Every structure is written in structure tokens, then in C-alpha cells.
Amino acid sequence: MAVKFASDDWAMQFKDEVNKSNVYKSAAKGWKWTVGLVVEAEPDKNFPESRGVVMDLFDGEARDITVGPAADAQRCDFVITAPYSRWKQVATRELDATKGMLQGKLKLKGDLPTIVRYTKASQEMTECTARVPVEWPDEG
């Protein structure tokens, strides 16, 4: 069943998808940092306030994924920031996250060698996002 984007239900399903993924489990072995996703507001897309997704990821497991204020996400070890419509493009596989980062469409803050070392894990994380059926606020 589809869930509202960036809602608590969405976070729960996203976490379940991550923890179901053997690819992620193996690729993220050794990862021990928090990741914050900042979804910037786009009022004209019916996404009026910026939101933050805080991901507590440890050694191939998503211990917790929560949605809250953008400021919470900005305090994480790694922070990826983009407007709502960019995240929608990522979650619908219209934009590859790696390409998006190289093009500056998704802005990353954090230690680069670490994130590059875990490229496969981050790609699988994107796949997990795409597997969550979503109700988008600018549709229907």
C-alpha cells in the first residue's frame, strides 16, 4: 500500500526495505555513520516545508530511520540535500543518485573517501527507496 512521502509510515517501509536487502547488508559492512537526507521545500509542488530524514545505519543494518525537521538531518555525519522534486526523481529512478551527485543536483557533505568507498551501498539504498510505493504530494 502506498504511503505518503516523508511520513512516518514511509520511513518505516524504507527501513524495512533496507533491512530486507542482502545487497545492502553486504555492501554496507563496516559502515558506522549517520546519514541525513534534507528534502527542501517546494511549496508549488505541495511540499511546503523542508523535512529531514535521519538514518541510523550500522554495519549493514538500518537501526532506525525517522522523519523530522531538516535541522535534525543536517546534524548527521553525512548530509545529502536536494529539493523535493529531485528526491522524487531519485525515488522514481528518473535520476541516478551517483550522477546526481557528480552533477551537483544532490549536494553531499561529509568525508568523501568514506562515501566513495561505500558507493555500492548507497546505490542499493537508492534502490530500497525506489521499492517503497509512494503517494507524492504533487500528484492526484
Residues within the interface to another protein (CB under 8 A) = 81, 96, 98-99, 101-114, 116-117, 119
Minimum Å gap between C-beta 115 and another protein is 9
CB of 139 to another protein, least distance (A): 27
CB nearer another protein, residue 92 or residue 103: 103
Residue 21, CB-side half-sphere exposure with 13 Å CA sphere: 29
DSSP string, 95-121: S-HHHHHHTTSSEEES-HHHHHHTHHH
| Interatomic CA distance for residues 124 and 25, integer angstroms | 10
Instruction: Decide whether 109 or 131 has the Cβ nearer to another protein.
Output: 109
Least Cα distance to 110 among 14, 58, 35 occurs for 35
Least CB distance to another protein at residue 96 (A) = 7
State how far the Cα of 95 lies from the Cα of 57, in Å rounded to an integer: 23
**What's the min distance (Å) between Cβ of 120 and another protein?**
8
- β 34-40/78-83 pair status: parallel
Question: Between residues 66 and 98, which has the closer beta carbon with respect to another protein?
Answer: 98
Residues across the chain = 140
Give the nearest distance from C-beta 54 to another protein in angstroms: 18
Closest to another protein by CB, 94 or 139: 94
